[in-house]
Structure 1
C-alpha cells in the first residue's frame, strides 16, 4: 500500500505540471468549494499519505454492493452495509469570482464559465448545441476567431457538464501569456453576438450534424456502448439510443440557443 501511495502522489505531481488539466481542477474548486463536487478526484497528497488499510476496508464495506449473479457467487459471503447518502452540492454565488494559480509557463490556461442545470433538465440538449456553435470543432466561432484569425493559441473548447444535482457551461482556452486580456475580450464579444444576433439556420444545422456525427463515432466500440447505456440506466433510469439523442439535438431551435445565451 505504501508503494501505491508513492505512485498516486507522482500522478498528482504529473497533473499539477499540466496547466490545461490544473485549470479544470481550479474551476471545480471555485464553483463548489469544500464539497465533493469541488474536490480533486485524486485527493490531496496529505490525505493520500495519511490513509490506512482500515480506511479502505471500511469504505469497501460501506459502498460496494453485489449487483449481479456472477459477483454474488464470488463475494456472496460479504456482509451487507448501508448505502451512504450523497452530500448535496451547495450553489452559493452572488457575484463573479476568479481562482488563480500562478506558475511559470509559456501559456495562460483559463476557464470562463457559468452555472447551468442538472442532468435531468430538458435544456441540456440546447446547451450542447450552444457549446457546439461556440467551441465544437475547427469551424466553431471561437476556434476560427482565436486560432485562425488572431493566432493566439492552439486549443479552445466549449462544453456543458451536467451532473445529478448541478451543472456548468465552460469555455476553456490555452493562449499566449501576453494576450490574455485581448482573448478574454474577444470571447465575451462572441458570446454577446450569440445573445444579440443569434445563430443562422445553416450554421445551426451544420453544428447539429457535427454533434450527432461525433456522438455516433464515439459509440463504435463495445466499451463505449456499455458506458453510453450503463450511464443512462444508472443515473436517469431510462434508456435512449443514439437516434433518440439525435432527435433531441435536431429539435433545438435558434430561439432556444439565443434565449440560453
Structure 2
C-alpha cells in the first residue's frame, strides 16, 4: 500500500463519501440478522450482520489470495505473509499488536487456505473500534522488514516440521498431490522447506502489494455491530493509510472456472514408522458453485458424516477396525474433492480399504435409502444452525460468501435448499462421483508387498 500526503488523502476521503454504495442484502426480523454491504470507491467491500442480542463482535478482513495463486518458486508465500503481518506496522510493533487485543480479553488470529486468507479479531462489542483499527493497520501498513522475514522463517520451518510429525495431517496434503499433481492445488499451503528458505523480503513485499490491494479485500463483521459505524471506522483506517486512492476501482470478481488438471486411479504411498496407517481414498468432486453441492452434502453426511453413517457403522462399530473414519468434501472455484479418511493398524489397512471401496461402489450402484437421506438432511440442517450460533462463524460465512460467491444466502434459504434435496438427486450425484475410479494416498509402516497390493484397491 502506498502512502499519500494529507492533502491527497483528504480529497480521496471526500470522493469516497460521495460514491460509496450501500445495499441491504438480507433483511432480518426487527433488525436482527440484517446483512448489509457497502462498497467504497477504492474497491473495498464491507459486509456486516447485526445481532443486537449478543455482547461480542468478530471483525475480519478476507484477502482474495491463497496458495493456488503462487508460482512454484513462491510456494508458501501466502502463509509466510500471514505471519509477517503480525510483525509490525508503521504505527505498531509486534508487541503493540498482540498486547492491544490481550488488554481487552480479545482473540486475534489468521488462517491461509488454497483460495483465500483471513485475519480476524473477536472482542466485546465495546472494543470493536480497537479491533478494527488494529486489523486494518496490519493489512495496510505492514513493514515486512528483512529482519522479521529472517526471524519468522524459523517459526514457519518449525510449523512445517510440526505438521510433518502429524501423519493425519500429512496424508491430506499427500492426497491433494495425488489428485492434482504438481499444480497450485496439489502443493501444500505451508510451502516446503526449500521454497520457504528461498523466499526473500523483496519477493514477499511484491506479493503483498499485488494481492492486498483494497479491490482484493473483503471486510466482514458480525455481532452487536452497527453497519454505518463499522463502515466509517474502516474507511477512516484505510484512508489514514492512503489505501483508497482509486475512485473508480472495481472489486475483483469471484474466481472463474479455470480448469485444473485432475487424475484418477493414482496411488501414493509414503512409508513412515507410525503406529497407524493413515488412508485417504477419494475421487474428483464438485466445484463450490455447482448446484448439486446440496445433494453432495447430504450424500457426504449419510456416507461418512456422523456416528450413524455407513462408514462409521461398518468400519468402526461392526468391525472395530478404526477409531477415526469419516468422509469429507472440498470445493474450489473450478473443481472439488470427495474423500474418505481412516486411521487403522497397518496390518488391517487392506481390510479397511476393501470395506470403504465396497461401500462407495454399493452407494454408486444402489444409492442410499430414503431413511438414510432423511436422517442426513436433518443432521445437516441442525449442524448448520448450531454451527452459526457464534459471531466468529457468522463472520466467516459473510466473508467467504462475499469473496467466493459474490452473494449471500439466508439461513432459512440454506435450510430450504437442504430440505428440497430428493433421494433421486442424491442417487444421481452418487452414481456420477462415486462411479469414478478413485485415487489413494497412504502413510504408514507398510512393507513392499503391502504397498504393491494397494494398487488393487483402486483397480
Q: TM-score, normalised by structure 2?
A: 0.53
Question: 1:78 Cα shift?
Answer: 8.4
Structure index of larger Rg: 2
Of the three residues 200, 207, 213, the one matched with 1:65 is 213
CA distance in 2, matches of 1:120, 1:60: 28
Question: 1:75 Cα shift?
Answer: 1.9
Question: 1:237 Cα shift?
Answer: 1.2
Q: Is the 8 A contact 2:256 2:333 kept in 1?
A: no
Q: Deviations over 1:125-181 (max 9, x none)?
A: 111111111101111110011111111111111122111111111111111111111
In structure 2, the gaps of 5 or more residues are 1-148, 218-233, 431-459
Q: Which residue of 2 aligns with 1:35?
A: 183
Q: Is the 8 A contact 1:117 1:124 kept in 2?
A: yes
Q: Deviations over 1:64-94 (max 9, x none)?
A: 123551442232168889x8x999452243x
Of the three residues 78, 90, 112, the one matched with 2:260 is 90
Q: Is the 8 A contact 1:36 1:87 kept in 2?
A: no
Q: Which residue of 2 aligns with 1:126?
A: 295
CA distance in 1, matches of 2:200, 2:335: 32
User: Structure 1 residues 28 and 207 mapped into 2: Cα distance closer, same or farther (>3 Å)?
Assistant: same
Q: After the TM superposition, which of the residue ranges 177-186 and 249-258 deviates more from structure 2? A: 249-258
Q: After the TM superposition, which of the residue ranges 41-50 and 62-71 deviates more from structure 2? A: 62-71
Question: 1:193 Cα shift?
Answer: 2.4
CA distance in 2, matches of 1:137, 1:233: 29
Q: Is the 8 A contact 1:35 1:87 kept in 2?
A: no
Q: Is the 8 A contact 2:307 2:313 kept in 1?
A: yes
Q: Which residue of 2 aligns with 1:212?
A: 381
Please state if 1:52 is matched with 2:221.
no
Please state if 1:103 is matched with 2:251.
no
Q: Which residue of 2 aligns with 1:7?
A: 155
Q: Is the 8 A contact 1:19 1:109 kept in 2?
A: yes
Q: Is the 8 A contact 2:278 2:341 kept in 1?
A: yes
Q: Which residue of 1 aligns with 2:122?
A: none
Q: Deviations over 1:170-196 (max 9, x none)?
A: 111111111111111111221222233
Q: Which residue of 2 aligns with 1:190?
A: 359
Structure with greater proportional helix content: 1
Q: After the TM superposition, which of the residue ranges 25-34 and 5-14 deviates more from structure 2? A: 25-34
Q: Which residue of 2 aligns with 1:147?
A: 316
CA distance in 1, matches of 2:180, 2:367: 31
Q: Is the 8 A contact 2:277 2:345 kept in 1?
A: yes
Aligned length: 259
CA distance in 2, matches of 1:76, 1:44: 35
Q: Which residue of 1 aligns with 2:436?
A: none
Secondary structure of the residue aligned to 1:156 is: strand
Q: Is the 8 A contact 2:329 2:338 kept in 1?
A: yes
Secondary structure of the residue aligned to 1:100 is: strand
User: Structure 1 residues 73 and 258 mapped into 2: Cα distance closer, same or farther (>3 Å)?
Assistant: same
CA distance in 2, matches of 1:9, 1:58: 22
Q: Deviations over 1:41-76 (max 9, x none)?
A: 111111111221111211111111235514422321
CA distance in 1, matches of 2:424, 2:297: 14
Secondary structure of the residue aligned to 1:252 is: coil
Question: 1:203 Cα shift?
Answer: 2.0
Q: Is the 8 A contact 1:32 1:89 kept in 2?
A: no
Structure with greater proportional strand content: 2
Tell me which of the two structures has the higher relative contact order, counting C-alpha pairs closer than 8 angstroms and 6 or more residues apart: 2
Q: Deviations over 1:233-259 (max 9, x none)?
A: 111111102221111111111122222
User: Structure 1 residues 35 and 116 mapped into 2: Cα distance closer, same or farther (>3 Å)?
Assistant: same
CA distance in 2, matches of 1:152, 1:41: 31
Q: Is the 8 A contact 1:28 1:39 kept in 2?
A: yes
